[in-house]
Structures are given as C-alpha cells and as structure tokens.
Amino acid sequence: MGTALVYHEDMTATRLLWDDPECEIERPERLTAALDRLRKCGLEQRCLRLSAREASEEELGLVHSPEYVSLVRETQVLGKEELQALSGQFDAIYFHPSTFHCARLAVGAALQLLDAVLTGEVQNGLALVRPPGHHSQRAAASGFCVFNNVAIAAAHAKQKHGLHRILIVDWDVHHGQGTQYLFEDDPSVLYFSWHRYEHGRFWPFLRESDADAVGRGQGLGFTVNLPWNQVGMGNADYVAAFLHLLLPLAFEFDPELVLVSAGFDSAIGDPEGQMQATPECFAHLTQLLQVLAGGRVCAVLEGGYHLESLAESVCMTVQTLLGDPAPPLSGPMVPCQSALESIQSVCAAQAPHWKSLQLQDVTPVQTSPSTHSSEGRPPPLLPGGPVCKTAASALSSLLDQPCLHPAPPVCPAVALTAPDITLVLPPDVTQQEGSALNEETEAWAKPHESLAQDEALTALGKLLYLLDGMLDGQVSSGIVATPPSAAAATLDVAIQRGLSHGAQRLLCVALGQLDRPPDLVHDGRILWLNIRGKEAAALSMFQVSTPLPVLTGGFLSCILGLVLPLAYGFQPELVLVALGPAHGLQGPHAALLTSMLRGPAGGRVLALLEEDSTPQLAGILARVLHGEAPPSLGPYSVASPEDTQALRYLRGQLEPQWKMLQCRPHLEA
Ligand code: X5A
Ligand code: ZN
C-alpha cells in the first residue's frame, strides 16, 4: 500500500498574461519547484507516479453549473484583451487560453488520486495541481481557482463510491468559501478550514468565514471555521488546533476518507499568509490526519506562493504520507493568546453539535476528584500464547511485500526477546546477541528480583542494545517483549540506560500496573505518565497519573487532551511506551496511542509489551511503528463522567506549566 503522486506537466501552461499584482504570485514555477524538490529528496521515486487525466464535463457538473462550465470552455478561443475583460468579472482571477485544459487536468488529478485510494491501489497520495480549487463556486471562479478540485472529488466519492462520511481539511491560509458553500447543508461532508481572518479584514473579507458559521439545515455543525485573527501563527498554534478542535470532531465524525485542501501559504515565508509554521509542521498535520479513516488521505495542492517554503512543505507532506516519521518540531510549543481565543470561540460555536467538545469546556477544577475503581472494566486481553511467532510472521510478511517505497535509511527494529525467538530488524542489528550487561547495567538490574534469571537478563541485553541504537540514530523505533513479571524492572533499567546515554528528555507512557521507579531523578529529564485505572494525580509537572478510560470517547480525550499535548510540550528525544500488567487496552486503542506518540519524538518510540500479550497486539504495534495507519476505532462513544472529571482535574492542575494543554485563553488576557 503505497503513496500516489499525481501530476501532469501541462498544468504549468496557464499563466498571467498581463499586469496584475494580486494574481502574479500564482505562477507555473510553483509546480516545478515542488516537483524538483521531491525528485532531489528521492521522494518522487518512492511514489506511484500517476499521470493526470482531464476530468469529463459530467464530472465538472457534479458541482458546477452547465453555464459556468461553458463559460470556462469558451475562454480557450479568446484573445488576451477578452481574457482580461472576462477575468475582471471575478475576484482575483486570470484566464489563459490553456486554463480550461489545466483546470480539467487539476480536477482529473484529484479524481485519479481518489480512485486509486478508494480502490485500494494505494493508501494515500498527493495531487500536484494548478489552478487551485477551494475558492471556486458552483458558478464562479475566485482567488485563482477555476473548478473546485477537492469538492468535485468529494462529490465523486459520494456518488461513484457510495461514501457517507468525508472529512475535508483545508489547511490553506485562505478560507475555502467555495467548498463551504457547496457543502454547507450536507452532513456527509465535514468541512474544516482555518484561515487568516483578522476580524474580517483579510481576503476574501467574508462574514461567513468566522467561527459562528457552522453550516445550515441538515448540515448544522458540519462546517467548522477557525479564523486566525493575527498573523504569525506557528507550530504550537497549528498543533493545538488539531489536538483540541479538529481531531476530537474528526474522531466523533469517523470519516471514511480524508481529503486535504493542502495549501502551503499557511507556512513560514509565504507573502499571503504571513504565518510562522515551519515545513515540518505539515509532516505533523499529515501524521495526525493519518490516524483517521484507516489512513485514506488524499491531499490536493491549493495555495503556497513562497517557492522554497512550498517545496519543502510539499516534501514534508509526501514523506509523511510514505510513512516516514515526522521530524521534531522546532521552537517553543506555546500557543499564543490570539490562537487560544480563536480555538475557544470555535469550541463554543460548535459545542451544541459535537459531544466531544461538550466535555472539554475546561473549567479548572481544583478539588480532588473521587478515586476511581477498576471495577466494571473489560477483562485483560486473553492470553494468546507466545507473542513472538505471530509477530515475527506479521513482520516478515510486511517485509516481503513488494514495496513501492524502499524504507528510509533509518528503519524500525523489532526485538522480541522471548527465549524461543529473536527477530530484530534491520539485519545488522539482528546479528547481535544484545549488549553484554556491563557493571553499571548489572548494578541497575540487581535490585530487581524479577531480573535475576538468565532469560530475563538476556532479554534486557537486547532491549538495551535496541535502545542504544535508537539513541544513536541507527534505528528509529522498536518493540520489545518483556518477561511478564519483569515489565516494571525492565522499564526502570531502560530509563537508567537512557539517562546514562545522555538523553535530556525521556517520555515514559506506562499503561496498567506500572509504578514509577522509586529512585528516578526529579530533574525534568523524565516525564512519567501512568495510565492505569487508579486516581487522577499530578504529583509534579513531570509525574502524572490518570485512570484508564474504558470508553472510546474517554480514551480519545485522554490521548488528544492530555497525553499528546504533554508530549508535544515536552519535546522528548525518545518515548518509551510500556503496556504493563492489566493495561486493558484493545489492539486498536494501543495502536492509535503508539502511532500518535511517534509525532513528538521524531518517530523514536520504543514499545515494551509483555511476552504473554496477544500475538495480534505485537503485530499491530509493529505495523504502526513501521508507519502504517492504525485500524479504525469504529463508532464514537461518549466519555464517562468519571473520565471527563479526571481529565478536567488534571488539565486544571497542569495547564499553568504545560501550555499545550490550554484550549482557551487566560481569563485575565
Ligand atoms: C488558492 C489561493 C488565494 C487568493 C488570494 C487573492 N488563493 N488575494 O491561495
Ligand atoms: Zn490560499
């Protein structure tokens, strides 16, 4: 399951033939710059290259009026003066004799991408197109857009593929008012757009771009506008908007497909957007969307006018679609007040329509919540015998698959350290017997009774070898099976090794009965997060414990509202995620958590699970660490009042120190 890249050179033909300072930024070099950079980075070669076809007039008719299609068709034979006169009838538009051809290729490219994804030929992909589409309306061109490429793709997905729930994420810096108008009463298309707004003082100057435009009729709540009222929004603002707003809605919506109106004028350097988000941020946005819809993500280029920034951001997007880990985000992860005000106003406007938002209207709760018993939880996963054999075969079949995309130089490794089998990738790591324990390591292991046996020590040696490989950058991620009684001890030794190796920030996410090792340093190098089914407590900003939510809704708000904001705020070099005794997680939930924890640490995630976990669990974790999409969680169920209360309490406690937890501005601001 690869990544498609859809393109046609003819789309470089359309260009501005007269003087117009507003339109001159939409140039052919936008496409060539992006494509050249994809080639230079070796990314184009890893994709399935598809040559764009022209959309048929019937396909254009899915969203445009016959009269408008005729009008555009007739521009093919007009002279320059006539083209200019006609262009003047629209807002920020130029026509060229090749416009009709190019615009039909742009739509055709989006449709080809969609068909390739929905027939299962590829997992995801990008269509590199001009002209862009999201400002285009039923009977009007606007903002460089002639036909609405993404809207036609959505209509086609409904009509030809029978889809019922399509999410459109418009991360272009302009409001895709065209797309909004086309679906505003349609509950089968959830349209999310953030955009430079400045209280209505930025193009296209529309009242209906504001947060209170939420759709109409049956479509109430299925239009989501996040207006940015200041320029300079950066990585923290974008990630916060995804974690606190878009993703809760998206999981509740449970889309079958994600379409991205992928404009890169929202990136740093762009003259239109004036924003600050770095190209890496688009890797993170992409990765955050890949956990939806079984990973079926179709990105279609919209704006992006700074050639360098555009090219780099396109590469980040494609690299992530290919499954590579996203590079860590730079800069302080602190959303600005204006961003928080915007996010808060959207939450307020949308809360009547979405259960997932009703819960998170956080009023800091300072009183201690009631303790939570673990009664009523699902039983732990059935013992499925040795984890290793099935995981090994899952992995080797993974490797045998004809790969459209040769893996990047740094691949995941898997060390399953049960006595009967060891499987470690890549091969140069396989040969190793694991590190011999040195004096230092033996001293760490000694106090732990559970590590007294040879087998446990051998397993430990392999884990430590893998850990070193990750810290040295030879391996990106891994899985280790620990002897059942030795999970806590193994985790303890792993942390010590990480620290002695010089790690400055280590995030431990411990699920189930795993206590924080007693002698651990308290100097901010370890962020310890225990999700286990007892009470909610923040002993310090680096030591947090929360009940294990039972229902999908509670699990999601825990991940999106607590774990990921902390992880993104901490910016760890490495994440240890340990599934300890009685972790109680279903495979899809464990896969989602593991997959999302790849984000904050540049993909460096080491998963520890007990040897007697189900084999399916190891296989599923191996696949997500390899960059595959986690399986869908299925229909949304609302969080329990206890889970909501615990989360509110913790957020109230931790928000002053961890700014990424905020989803509304300080009251005094
Ligand atoms: C697709 C896109 C921008 C139009 C700006 C007009 N259009 N001032 O980014
Ligand atoms: Zn734009």
Least confident of 95-104, 163-172, 403-412: 403-412
Pocket flag, ligand 1, residue 20 (CB < 6 Å): no
pLDDT > 70: what percent of the chain? 88
- Look at residue 337 in the predicted model and tell me its pLDDT: 97
Within this chain, do residues 443 and 563 fall inside the same structural domain, yes or no? yes
Domain count, the chain: 2
Pocket flag, ligand 1, residue 318 (CB < 6 Å): no
Band of pLDDT at residue 415, cut at 50, 70 and 90? low
Residue where a domain terminates, one of 364, 394, 420: 364
Within this chain, do residues 239 and 158 fall inside the same structural domain, yes or no? yes
Task: Choose, from 8, 64, 134, 135, the residue flagged as catalytic.
Answer: 135
Pocket test for ligand 1, best of 270, 272, 300, 305 (most atoms within 8 A of CB): 272
Is pLDDT above 50 for 571?
yes
Is pLDDT above 70 for 70?
yes
Give the model confidence (pLDDT) of 281-302 as tens digits: 999 999 999 999 999 999 999 9
Distance CA 261, CA 168 (A): 7
Active site residue 284: no
Hey, what amino acid is at 226? Answer: L
User: With b meaning 16 or more CB within 10 Å and e meaning fewer, what string describes 511-529?
Assistant: bbbbebbeebeeeebbbbb
Band of pLDDT at residue 539, cut at 50, 70 and 90? very high
β-strand partners of 49: 5
**DSSP H or E stretch at residue 530:** strand 526-531
Pocket flag, ligand 1, residue 303 (CB < 6 Å): yes
Within this chain, do residues 220 and 342 fall inside the same structural domain, yes or no? yes
Within this chain, do residues 453 and 328 fall inside the same structural domain, yes or no? no
Within this chain, do residues 468 and 332 fall inside the same structural domain, yes or no? no
Helices (H), 401-484: 427-430, 439-445, 454-471
Band of pLDDT at residue 395, cut at 50, 70 and 90? very low
Within this chain, do residues 326 and 189 fall inside the same structural domain, yes or no? yes
Find all residues with CB under 8 Å of 533, minimum gap 6, and list them.
372, 374, 377, 512, 547, 548, 582, 584
Mean residue pLDDT across the chain: 89
Residue in this structure with the two tokens 């296209």, named with its chain if needed? 204
| Domain CATH for 634 | 3.40.800.20
Distance CA 63, CA 82 (A): 26
pTM given for the model: 0.91
**Torsion over CA: 228, 232, 238, 239 (sign):** negative
Within this chain, do residues 210 and 307 fall inside the same structural domain, yes or no? yes
Residue 211 lies in a domain: yes
Residue 399 lies in a domain: no
For ligand 1, atom 7, name the residue with the nearest CA.
Answer: 143
Residue 156 lies in a domain: yes
Is pLDDT above 80 for 419?
no
Residue 377 lies in a domain: no
Query: What letter does residue 54 receive in the DSSP assignment?
Result: P
Pocket test for ligand 1, best of 30, 87, 90, 135 (most atoms within 8 A of CB): 135
Residue 370 lies in a domain: no
Which residue would you say has higher pLDDT here, 405 or 371? 405
Hey, what amino acid is at 274? Answer: Q
Is pLDDT above 70 for 421?
no
Give the model confidence (pLDDT) of 585-608 as tens digits: 999 999 999 999 999 999 999 999
* Residue 499, domain extent: 412-661
For ligand 1, atom 1, name the residue with the nearest CA.
Answer: 303
Give the model confidence (pLDDT) of 495-517 as tens digits: 999 999 999 999 999 999 898 88
Is pLDDT above 60 for 527?
yes
- How confident is the model over 380-401, as a mean pLDDT? 39
Residue where a domain terminates, one of 348, 364, 380: 364
Within this chain, do residues 440 and 570 fall inside the same structural domain, yes or no? yes
Within this chain, do residues 289 and 425 fall inside the same structural domain, yes or no? no
- Look at residue 360 in the predicted model and tell me its pLDDT: 60
Which residue would you say has higher pLDDT here, 663 or 326? 326
Is pLDDT above 80 for 406?
no
Is pLDDT above 90 for 227?
yes
Residue 14 lies in a domain: yes
- Look at residue 386 in the predicted model and tell me its pLDDT: 37
Within this chain, do residues 189 and 309 fall inside the same structural domain, yes or no? yes
Within this chain, do residues 152 and 291 fall inside the same structural domain, yes or no? yes
Residue 666 lies in a domain: no
Hey, what amino acid is at 38? Answer: L
Within this chain, do residues 144 and 259 fall inside the same structural domain, yes or no? yes
Band of pLDDT at residue 5, cut at 50, 70 and 90? very high
**DSSP H or E stretch at residue 546:** strand 543-546
Distance from residue 492's CA to the centre of ligand 2 (Å): 49
- Look at residue 194 in the predicted model and tell me its pLDDT: 99
Residue 393 lies in a domain: no
Band of pLDDT at residue 392, cut at 50, 70 and 90? very low
Pocket flag, ligand 1, residue 301 (CB < 6 Å): no
- How confident is the model over 188-212, as a mean pLDDT? 98
Residue where a domain terminates, one of 324, 346, 364: 364
Distance CA 530, CA 216 (A): 43
